[in-house]
Structure 1
Amino acid sequence: MQLVRGLHNLRSLPGGSVATIGNFDGVHRGHQAILARLRERAAELRLPSCVVIFEPQPREFFAPEQAPARLTRLREKLELLAAQGVDRVLCLAFNRRLRELSAAEFVHAVLVEGLGVRHLEVGDDFRFGCDRAGDFAFLQKAGVIEGFSVEAATTIEVDGERVSSTRIRQALADGELTSAERLLGRSFSITGRVLHGQQLGRQLGAPTANVQLKRRRAPLNGVFTVSVRLDGETRVGVANIGTRPSVRSDGRPHLEVHLLDYRGDLYGRRLQVTFHQKLRDEQRFASLDALQAAIEADFAAARAYWRL
């Protein structure tokens, strides 16, 4: 899959494309249906498929403190899009210049001049351009003039409700991992590199890997049984994700993972942490002894879950 950062890098790319536009946060089952249709239309027209995404996501640009927790960082999103068979991703910097483009300017600069779009897949509630003035009807009219077709993406429902990133965030926040898995089409995971931490876990006899989140807020909170991909193998353990109220906290979310029966050095390694069952909420303990007792109980619960 080819990644193009910014419209200026599209000038040397030949031919047209079949495209879709969106945040694609989580690349969930609804997104997967859009991408399946995108591949079909690209094959019919013998053109590359292209997904247009924004970085940061628009709500993160307008109100970073109130923006919802991300399901996927950019790197994770790109890996998931590649796994869906996307040929090209155009990642546009969402900044003041892009925000001020009118709907007509966006169509001309991005879709016509930038991508040479022949067919566009978007949701019928899609809005774009300055003050969100552009909509599905606007795209249909522009397509007639510019020579591209526009099709409304198929809505996917699970248990009678539309699949959405918002619904998945709520399921994760509620600790309903099975529900989140049905909506995502896979178990929820977070990937990051292991950084040096405070090493409190080591002092308590429970060394943990401090996995870099690169998020303002995490989509889930608490203590979980997890599996971790490491050196092509899957290991199991326990993870705490939250603000660590029992120790010196900086108020930011942290992901700490303990691998059961593992003694190797994980610093600098990139781990994929998959969440399976919530054991409890994160809580503040009155003493380190109380914290250590809770950690030991968590390990016992994880061993029972994994039948170790």
Structure 2
Amino acid sequence: MEIVEGFVRARRKFRNPAVTIGNFDGVHKGHQALIEHARNYAREKEGETVVITFNPHPVKVLCPDCNLKFITPHRTKLELLEQYGVDVVWIIPFTREFASLSAREFVEQCLVDFVGVKHLVVGYDYHFGKGREGNIILLEEMGKTHGFTVEVVPEVIVSGIVVSSTSIRKLIQEGQMKTVTTLLGRPYEIRGPVVHGRGRGARMLGFPTANVRIGDYVPPRTGVYATRVTVDGIKYMGATNLGYNPTFGDTDLSLEVHILDFDRHIYNKVIKVEFIEYIRGEKKFSGIDELADQISRDVECVRQLLS
């Protein structure tokens, strides 16, 4: 997959480009439908599938105090776009200056002049340009003028839910991981470096944990999850707690992963935690013994769910 960053002129003309545009947070089944339609056109015309996306996310620029959390960070998004068969990704640096482009300027400068669009695939509710003034009617009008066709993909509904990044973020925060997996087409994952925790897992409870920095990921509902954990390309079962450790009176949110049948030191190593199923909510226990007994039951539950 070729990655073009910024407005430096591409080294070559794209071949019959079929283009789709978006933030693609999650690269969920709705996004996958857009990509599939663009790929179908590209195959028919011996062209290339081109995705236009933005970094940073527009909300980070236009509403910096909104504290938006993400389903997929930028690097993971690019990996997924390649996995789903995209040929070229053009990453536009999103700034307030860029946000001031009118809808017509965006079409002329970005789609026509820079990419040379032949076919444009958009979602049913697509709006763009300054103040979201641009719409599908404008795209079709400008397509006739500039020689490109417009294809509108209807909403994707899975399990009675309209698939969108907003709906998936909400489901993650509710801990509904089975539904999230269905809408994404894969489990929700958090990747991060293993950092030093308080050392209670192995020393006090007999269950060593890898403490993972969450960063800008959407935080799931607090509680215990059955997870799959990838370390150095190998997957393991995991009993994962996200919460505030009320038994110990902590106040910071922490992600602690007990990797089953694993005894290596992995500090500073980046691991991937896939959330498969919510097991139980966070609870304050009377003491260490009661907590250790519950963790033992959690681990057994994970084995039964994931074996």
Q: Identify whether the pair has TM-score above 0.5, normalized to the shorter chain.
A: yes
Aligned residue in 1 for 2:171: 171
AA aligned to 2:12 is L
Q: Match for 1:41: what amino acid?
A: Y
The residue type equivalent to 2:270 in the other structure is: R
- Alignment correspondent of 2:81: 81
Corresponding position of 2:13: 14
For residue 46 of structure 1, what is the aligned residue in structure 2?
46
Please give the alpha-carbon distance, in whole angstroms, between the structure 1 residues aligned to 2:104 and 2:133: 9
Name the CA shift for 1:295/1:159 in 2 (closer, same or farther; >3 Å). Answer: closer
What secondary structure, in the 3-state scheme, does the structure 1 residue paired with 2:219 have?
A: coil
Tell me by how many angstroms 1:219 deviates: 4.2
Query: How far apart are residue 288 of structure 1 and its match?
Result: 5.3
Q: Which residue in 2 is equivalent to 1:271?
A: 271
SS of residue matched to 2:66: coil
CA distance in 2, matches of 1:203, 1:244: 16
Pairing 1:35-184 to 2, within 5 Å after superposition = 35-184=35-184
Secondary structure at 2:207's aligned position in 1?
coil
One-letter identity of the residue aligned with 2:95: N
Q: CA deviation at 1:40?
A: 0.8
Instruction: Give the superposition deviation at 1:276.
Output: 1.6
Distance 1:114-1:245 versus aligned 2 partners, 3 A rule: farther
Classify the secondary structure of the residue corresponding to 2:118.
Answer: strand
The separation in 1 between residues aligned to 2:30 and 2:91, in whole angstroms, is 20
For structure 2, the 5+ residue unaligned runs are: none
* CA pair 147-246 structure 1, distance change in 2 beyond 3 A: farther
**What SS is found at the alignment partner of 2:228?**
strand
Aligned-partner Cα distance in 2 for 1:212–1:112 = 42
After TM superposition, list the pairs within 5 Å mapping 1:241-280 onto structure 2.
241-244=242-245, 251=252, 253-280=253-280
CA pair 30-274 structure 1, distance change in 2 beyond 3 A? same
Q: Which moved more, 1:56-65 or 1:22-31?
A: 56-65
Q: C-alpha root-mean-square deviation of aligned residues, in Å?
A: 2.4
SS in 2 for 1:117: coil
Cα separation, partners in 2 of 1:105 and 1:249, compared to 1, 3 Å: farther
Separation in 1, partners of 2:287, 2:191? 31
Structure 1 residues 106 and 249 mapped into 2: Cα distance closer, same or farther (>3 Å)?
A: farther
Q: Deviations over 1:222-273 (max 9, x none)?
A: 210111123333211111224555557575x543211012111222323221
Higher mean displacement: 62-71 or 233-242 = 62-71
Query: Higher mean Cα deviation, 82-91 or 106-115?
Result: 106-115
Q: Cα–Cα, structure 1 residues 109 and 287, in superposed 2: closer, same or farther, change >3 Å?
A: farther
Identity %: 37
Determine the C-alpha separation between the residues in 1 that align with 2:217 and 2:272: 19
How far 1:65 moved relative to its partner?
A: 4.1
Q: Give the Cα–Cα distance (whole angstroms) in 2 for the partners of residues 86 and 148 of structure 1.
A: 19
Structure 1: stretches of 5+ with no match in the other structure:
none
The alpha-carbon deviation at position 85 of structure 1 amounts to 0.5
Whole-angstrom CA distance in 2 between matches of 1:185 and 1:216:
18
Distance across 2 between alignment mates of 1:152 and 1:82: 22
Could you tell me how far apart the structure 2 residues matched to 1:95 and 1:250 are? 35
Alpha-carbon distance, 1:108 to partner: 2.0
Q: CA deviation at 1:107?
A: 1.4
* Residue matched to 2:188: 188
Q: AA paired with 1:221? A: T
**Counterpart-to-counterpart distance in 2, 1:284 and 1:60:** 36
User: Partners of 1:217 and 1:247 in 2: how far apart?
Assistant: 25
- Aligned partners of 1:112, 1:188: CA distance in 2, in Å? 36
CA 1:219–1:144: 2 relative to 1, 3 Å: farther
Equivalence for 2:199: 199
- TM-score scaled to structure 2, two decimals? 0.88
The answer on whether the counterparts of 1:34 and 1:154 sit within 8 Å (CA) in structure 2 is no
- 1:36-70: CA deviation from partner (whole Å, max 9, x where unpaired): 11111111222211111112222232234435431
